[in-house]
Amino acid sequence: MTPAAPDHPRPRSPLHLFIAFTVLALQGFGGVLAVAQRELVDRRRWMTREEFVDAYSVAQLLPGPNVVNLSLMLGDRFFGWRGAFAAISGMLFAPLVLVIVLAAGYNQLAGFPAVAGALRGMGAVAAGLILAMALKMLGTLRRNPLGPALCALLGLTTLVAVTVFRVPLAWVVIGLGTAGWCIARWCIARQEGARR
Amino acid sequence: MSSLPLADLVDLFLRFLMLSLLSIGGAMSTAPEMHRFLVAERGWLNDADFTTAIALAQAAPGPNVLFVPVLGFQVAGVVGAAAALLGILLPSTLLSLGVSRWGAQRRDAPAVRAFTAGLAPVSVGLVFATGWLLSLPFIAAPEHRLGALALIAATMAVTLKTRLAPIWMIVVGATVGALGGV
């Protein structure tokens, strides 16, 4: 991530970061990414659109929740580890308290058939949201140097390994991830060779 | 929700600590493994508990990673929630801080590009697997199958075709469910 242009506004203090990220997180129903873009880029102008895309691609590549990694990078850029901590705490603290209160309430209300039904309905919607997200992710593979056939092979192998054979995730990520990395290195080398 | 012996809490914490480093593409990609550990291996939660945790985290505002402390809460109360959240976040956060400082400038190196390119199809496969595992309890229960499948299909169609905020779909799902439609 390149440093912000000098005319960019910046947060005044780690506390300011904490408050901004709390406000942002509390608006993020069903995902925070879109809200983060609007608040940090369009409204507060702490990052340019390009910086946001840059930070997000790095955040995606690393393990951990993407929006948490994104908060961390932005906070770190302004105030070092104190900023990183403030941004992550803002992103997580208020929503965490809220969701735990909801979970505790659910444990007491679960006896009511209407509540159980509501949760079942929400569960079905949650499943639909995840499946739709998977379909959207499918679109980003179009520009993958592996090409459609190898992408489909790797993706389907992952799906079958996890759902049918219940292979532990560590083996899937290490095994298929390494395979994917090796194949991708070969594909990229070949494409760059062909370009010369 | 029950209290858990300290040894089991430590076990949960260490398990999530390890999962943290595998959560490429977000914490949701580790959901199948958490399901395997909490439901199949230990029997601390059942399928319905697991789906509820994800539904609650989706319904509430904030990052989706918050389904992880809800799982911990269902297993062992507030202490379980803290163990699960710290476990899933500490390693990935420290690693991300280190790597992002070490060099965003190396992003164009072939080895780094191959890393993203090779892992992307695996991540997509994992998200599909999560969607499948979340749908499974509905498909397995004949009395809920039809309504739930209709709701899943409708959610997918609305998500892909419109820009409607997910909260409204959650509200519709909750209403339909409360009225006995699922």
Interface list for B 29-58 with A (CB within 8 A)? 29-30, 32-33, 36, 40, 51-58
CA distances from A192 to A187, A188, A195, B104 (A): 9, 6, 5, 22
Distance between A62 CA and the closest CA of chain B, angstroms: 6
ipTM: 0.73
Please write the tens of the pLDDT for every residue from A4-50.
445 678 999 999 999 999 988 987 765 677 678 778 887 889 988 77
Distance between B7 CA and the closest CA of chain A, angstroms: 22
User: How many Å apart are CA B125 and CA B17, to the nearest integer?
Assistant: 23
Q: Is B25 at the interface with chain A, CB within 8 A?
A: yes
**Chain A residues near residue B170 by CB distance under 8 angstroms:** 29-30, 122, 125-126
Return the DSSP state at B108: G
**Chain A residues near residue B131 by CB distance under 8 angstroms:** 127, 130-131, 133-134
* C-beta atoms of A103 and B56 within 8 A: yes
Please write the tens of the pLDDT for every residue from B59-115.
788 898 999 999 999 999 999 999 999 999 999 999 999 987 875 567 677 877 787
Please write the tens of the pLDDT for every residue from B36-54.
999 999 999 998 889 889 8
Residues in chain A: 196
Please write the tens of the pLDDT for every residue from B63-78.
989 999 999 999 999 9
User: How many Å apart are CA B17 and CA B91, to the nearest integer?
Assistant: 7
Residues with Cβ < 8 Å from B122, sequence gap 6 or more? A154, A155, A158, A172, A173, A176, A177, A180
Residues with Cβ < 8 Å from B81, sequence gap 6 or more? A96, A100, B69, B70, B72, B73
Q: Say which residue, A142 or A180, is predicted with more confidence.
A: A180
**Chain B residues near residue A128 by CB distance under 8 angstroms:** 151-156, 159, 169
In chain B, domain spans: 6-107
Q: Which of B14, B107, B122 to mutate to test the interface with A (most CBs of A within 10 A)?
A: B122
Q: Say which residue, A109 or A89, is predicted with more confidence.
A: A89
Q: Which of A53-62, B126-135, B173-182 has the lowest mean pLDDT?
A: A53-62
Q: Say which residue, B156 or A53, is predicted with more confidence.
A: B156
